[in-house]
Amino acid sequence: MSAQSSVNRIDASAAVPSEIHLPAPTAWPFVLGLGFVLLFAGLLTSASISILGAFLSVAACVGWFREVLPREHEEVVPVVPREIPIRTERPRVERFPTAPEPVRAWLPLETYPISAGIKGGWAGSVAMAVLACTFGLIKTGSIWYPINLLGAIVFEEPFRLDPAQLNAFHGNTFLVALIFHATGSTLVGLLYGAMLPMFPRRPILLGGVIAPLLWSGLLSSLLGLLNPLLESLINWYWFAASQIGFGVVAGLIVMRQHRIPTKENIPFAFRAGIEAPGLMHKKDGGEKQL
């Protein structure tokens, strides 16, 4: 056994080279970099600096090429073999236990289904439409005033020429306003459904009052830059009140829906539909199940 190990050591030592060839050190790359710096620095200072930089660049290129052609300049470096012992103080391999419990907290633990956000958005859209039409009746005596203002996003020219048309019914404007209102209310309702579980305290105050006020202020600033005419026709106090009505009604409808647990706390193997025995609970009989 010892003779065999001695032979293996001799073969291993014979396989290790006694010396290696490395590229010889050279200063030409540094000279080339300095030449380029002087070449471009002369464009801002003096032509003589550029001439010096060009001379150094050409000389460095020639010198660097001669390091490689016609024969590579190399230097011989002796190899000093050193045996590195590998030791460990651990008597066994450490293994991390796998369990279905999450390693860290994922928030929120429960959320609302998508249908809750859609229901909240539709209910809030009705509340906002009632408040907006009420404002139209109070200000101009016509419910079509706020509807035509929303449709003016697309059909602005008729109202620019004759502002009195804002109080009349227009089929194309009503259709555009209906599409914008329904789409926006549905998307905001979905946002409320995802956002309200993240507000553990007073979710209606944050999601139904503060968020609409911030949104109204932002929209007022942007619309004043993009469409000053439309911005001047909107009563922003009543607009903010309509947004708050939407937020409160949508939030109340969403909060009345049944919550479902989020899937972030479930191991990936369960979410992917993979049977992972190491993550499965045991039955009373000893068999494992999901």
**Segment 215-252, tens digit of pLDDT:** 777 777 777 676 676 677 778 888 888 888 888 888 88
Domain ranges, ordered by start, for the chain: 19-78, 110-258
Structure tokens at 196: 């309200």
Q: What HEC string does the chain produce? A: CHHHHHHHHHHHHHHCCCEEEEECCCCHHHHHHHHHHHHHHCCCCCHHHHHHHHHHHHHHHHHHHHHHCCCCCEEEEECCCCCCCCCCCCCCCCCCCCCCCCCCCCCCCEECCHHHHHHHHHHHHHHHHHHHHHHHHHHCCCCHHHHHHHHCCCCCHHHHHCHHHHHCCCHHHHHHHHHHHHHHHHHHHHHHHHHHHHCCCCHHHHHHHHHHHHHHHHHHHHHHHHCHHHHHHCCHHHHHHHHHHHHHHHHHHHHCCCCEECHHHCCHHHHCCCCCHHHCEECCCCCEEC
Question: pLDDT tens digit string along 164-213?
Answer: 777 788 888 888 888 888 888 888 888 877 777 776 666 677 777 777 88
- State if pTM tops 0.75: no
Q: What is the mean pLDDT of residues 45-64?
A: 90
CA-derived radius of gyration, the chain: 38
Mean predicted lDDT score pLDDT of the chain: 75
- The pairing of strands 74-78 and 110-111 is unpaired
The dotted CATH code for 19-78 is 1.10.287
* Average pLDDT over every residue of 90-111: 62
Torsion, Cα 130 133 137 142, to 10 degrees, reads -140
113 Cβ partners below 8 Å, 6+ apart?
193, 257, 258, 260
**Above 80 in pLDDT, residue 41?**
yes
Contact 243, 128 (CB under 8 A): yes
Q: With contact defined as beta carbons under 8 Å apart, do 257 and 119 qualify?
A: yes
Q: Name the token pair of 233.
A: 């026709």
